[in-house]
Amino acid sequence: MKIKSAEFVISNSDVSRCPDSPLPEYAFIGRSNVGKSSLINMITGRKSLAKTSGRPGKTQLINHFLINGSWHLVDLPGYGYARVSKSVKKTFQKFITAYFEQRRQMLCAFVLIDSRHDAQPIDLEFMQYLGENGIPFCIIFTKADKLKPKALERNVETYKTQMLENWEEMPRYFITSSQSALGKEEVLHYIESLNEQ
C-alpha cells in the first residue's frame, strides 16, 4: 500500500473524545521506549509525524493520525515506565484500557517488543489481558538493526517458546527496524488486508 497522506488529527486522554469515526484503526502499544512512535514514522514514511525521544515516557496521550484519508494509526503512551509517579501510571493504565475496551473500530493492536530482550512479565500480562478481552493483536519485534541476524533469529525463537507456554499458537508477528525500514511492507500489507475485510 502506498502512503499518499498522513496527518495528525487529535491527542487526548479521554477515549470519548477520540475521533467519532467508523474508519478502521490500528494501535501501537508496548513498553516505554520500545519504538512505537518511531515505527509510526517509519510505516508512514514521515520523519516526524509522531514525536519520538531517547527518553522513555515521551508519548503521554492517545494520538490519532489519519492515513490516506481512510484509516487511523494510533500512537499510545508506553506502559511499564518506572520513572513516572504511581498516580500518573494509573491514569495511563485507565485510559489505555478504556481505549482498548471501547474502540470497536480498532481492528488490530500491534504489541511492540524490543527484539533484544527476553519475554517480560508486563508484556505477557498485557497480551493476556488483550486475549481475555477478545481484542485482536499482533506482535512487532522492534529495533532489529541492533542485533546480528543470527542473534535476532535466536531471540525470536526464544520468544516464541516463551509465548507457547501460555498460548496455543504464536500470534502473527513482524520483525521490524525503524532505522532500516525492515518490515514496513509486511505491516502495511497486513493493515491493507484488514482494511479490505
Q: Does 78 bind ligand GTP (CB under 6 A)?
A: yes
Let me know how long the chain is: 197
Q: Does 145 bind ligand GTP (CB under 6 A)?
A: yes
Helix then strand count (H, E) for the chain reads 5, 7
Only one of the segments 4-12, 18-26, 98-106, 172-180 lies at the binding site for ligand GTP (rule: CB under 6 A); that segment is 172-180
Residue 69, Cβ neighbours under 10 Å: how many? 10
Q: Does 34 bind ligand GTP (CB under 6 A)?
A: yes
Q: Does 142 bind Mg ion (CB under 5 A)?
A: no
Q: Does 178 bind ligand GTP (CB under 6 A)?
A: yes
Which distant-in-sequence residues (6+ apart) come within 8 Å of 50 by Cβ?
Answer: 36, 37, 38, 40, 41, 59, 63, 65, 75
Q: Does 63 bind ligand GTP (CB under 6 A)?
A: no
Q: Give the three cell numbers for residue 97.
A: 484500557
H helices present in the chain, as ranges: 36-44, 86-102, 121-132, 149-163, 184-195
**Binding test (CB under 6 A) with ligand GTP, winner from 37, 44, 63, 155:** 37
Of all residues in the shown chain, the one whose CB is closest to ligand GTP is 78
Judged by the rule CB under 6 A, the positions of this chain that interact with ligand GTP are 32-38, 52-54, 56-59, 77-78, 142-143, 145-146, 177-179
Judged by the rule CB under 5 A, the positions of this chain that interact with Mg ion are 36-37, 58-59
